[in-house]
């Protein structure tokens, strides 16, 4: 490991090789720890020191290999969520999570806050599956809260439409008692059936395979009595909230997902997908942000 910032005032930042020999950053501040992989600018861990359990979930079977997705944490899905219809070359959730991003020198703000950034520009591999030139930048602000900012820049000469989601896998102590608040009266697209519904319940719970994209730009609360905590998710310039859990059969069908691990996680994803897709003009940019905060009880 290479020490990027000497221990001072409770902050230590190290850069080196993590699982599978992939480059990563380790951050340890007075109030929180975090781990971010350069492949995909993929945060796999952020945990306030006041919180006894991990906030983000990572599969025990996750592949930490170059060019393969990491199962769990907070991957970026861009420029199309899922598969691109009519494009056999397009990888699931887009190419940027397979690319190695360039890290921006970390900037400790004080003894309790660290800012870490990553950048990625379109290249031959991304252009082979999506023909637009772009630059992505993501910034993590790490302290007792986690703030993530993502900026999309159009570096080409034509406008493009795109989707973007932060595919956040949250660790859950008791899936059957967990509830997601803040989505009542929102329309959602139910992917397994291809139908559109209006959410009539005060909360969303998981009782089977769940794959929904809600038209919702407001805050969401993931309440988990199993870990005695609430995960508060607030966002800016995000019109979509996706909720995903593969349940039994899909868990068994995924090689990088344990058969029973669906009981340990819920994806609550923030961004812009389906009818929330955005258009970025040449030379312009779009920025969204998400703040995650944990409240114990």
Share of the chain above pLDDT 90, in %: 88
CA-atom Rg of the chain in angstroms: 18
Task: Supply the CATH classification number for the domain 11-296.
Answer: 2.70.98.10
Res 179 pLDDT > 80 = yes
Domain chopping of the chain, boundaries? 11-296
CA distance 219 to 234: 5
The tens digit of pLDDT for each residue in 26-45 reads: 999 889 999 999 999 999 99
Cα–Cα distances in angstroms (integers) from residue 156 to residues 1, 52, 120, 132, in the given order: 38, 46, 15, 7
Using pLDDT thresholds of 50, 70 and 90, give the confidence band for residue 110. Answer: confident
Lowest mean pLDDT of 27-31, 47-51, 234-238, name the range.
Answer: 27-31
Residue 143's pLDDT is: 92
pLDDT of residue 108: 65
Query: What is the percent of the chain with per-residue pLDDT over 70, rounded to a whole number?
Result: 96
Question: Is 162 within 8 Å of 77 (Cβ atoms)?
Answer: no
Query: How many Å apart are CA 263 and CA 45, to the nearest integer?
Result: 19
For the segment 128-154, what is each residue's pLDDT rounded down to a tens digit?
999 999 999 999 999 999 999 999 999
Q: pLDDT at position 112, please?
A: 83
Cα end-to-end distance, the chain, whole Å: 37
Kindly report the average pLDDT of the chain as a whole number. Answer: 94
Give the H/E segment covering residue 288.
Answer: strand 285-296
Q: CA 153 to CA 137: how far, in whole Å? A: 8
pLDDT of residue 8: 53
Which range (112-116, 133-137, 165-169, 243-247) has the least confidence? 112-116
Q: The pTM is what? A: 0.95
Q: Please name which of 250, 259, 246, 258 lies closest in space to residue 209, comparing C-alpha atoms.
A: 246
Q: What's the rounded Cα separation, in Å, for the pair 1 and 130? A: 36
Query: Residue 3: pLDDT above 80?
Result: no
Q: Which pLDDT value is given to residue 87?
A: 82
DSSP state of 188: E
- Between 263 and 90, the more confident residue is 263
Residue 21 has phi, psi (to 5 degrees) of 75, 15
20, 64 in Cβ contact below 8 A?
Answer: yes
pLDDT, tens only, 197-227: 999 999 999 999 999 999 999 999 999 999 9
What pLDDT is stored for residue 86 in this prediction?
A: 77
Instruction: Please report which confidence band the pLDDT of residue 5 belongs to, taking 50, 70 and 90 as the band edges.
Output: low
Q: H-type helices in 197-289, by residue range?
A: 247-253
Q: Which pLDDT score, from 0 to 100, does residue 150 have?
A: 98
CB atoms under 10 Å from CB of 131, counted, come to 11
Mean pLDDT of 160-185: 98
């Amino acid at each position: 490991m290479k020490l990027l910032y000497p221990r001072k005032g409770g902050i230590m930042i190290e850069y080196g090789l993590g699982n599978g020999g992939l480059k990563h950053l380790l951050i340890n501040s007075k109030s929180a720890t975090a781990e971010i992989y350069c492949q995909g600018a993929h945060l796999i861990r952020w945990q306030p020191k006041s919180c006894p359990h991990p906030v983000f979930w990572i599969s025990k079977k996750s592949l930490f290999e170059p060019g393969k997705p990491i199962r769990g944490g907070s991957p970026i899905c861009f420029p199309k969520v899922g598969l691109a219809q009519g494009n056999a070359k397009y990888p699931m959730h887009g190419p940027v999570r397979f690319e190695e991003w360039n890290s921006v020198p970390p900037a400790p703000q004080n003894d309790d806050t660290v800012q870490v950034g990553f950048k990625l520009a379109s290249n031959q591999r991304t252009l082979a599956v999506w023909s637009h030139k772009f630059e992505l930048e993501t910034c993590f602000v790490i302290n007792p809260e986690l703030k993530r900012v993502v900026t999309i820049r159009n570096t080409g000469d034509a406008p493009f439409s795109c989707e973007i989601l932060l595919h956040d896998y949250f660790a859950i102590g008791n899936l059957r008692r967990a509830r997601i608040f803040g989505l009542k009266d929102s329309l959602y697209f139910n992917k397994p059936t291809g139908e559109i519904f209006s959410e009539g319940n005060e909360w969303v719970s998981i009782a089977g395979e769940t794959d929904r994209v809600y038209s919702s730009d407001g805050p969401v609360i993931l309440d988990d009595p199993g870990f005695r905590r609430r995960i508060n998710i607030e966002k800016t310039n995000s019109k979509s909230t996706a909720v995903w859990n593969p349940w039994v059969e899909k868990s068994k069908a995924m090689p990088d997902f344990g058969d029973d691990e669906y009981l340990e996680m819920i994806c609550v994803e923030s961004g812009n997908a389906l009818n929330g897709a955005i258009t970025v003009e040449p030379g312009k940019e779009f920025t969204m942000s998400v703040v995650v905060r944990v409240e114990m009880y």
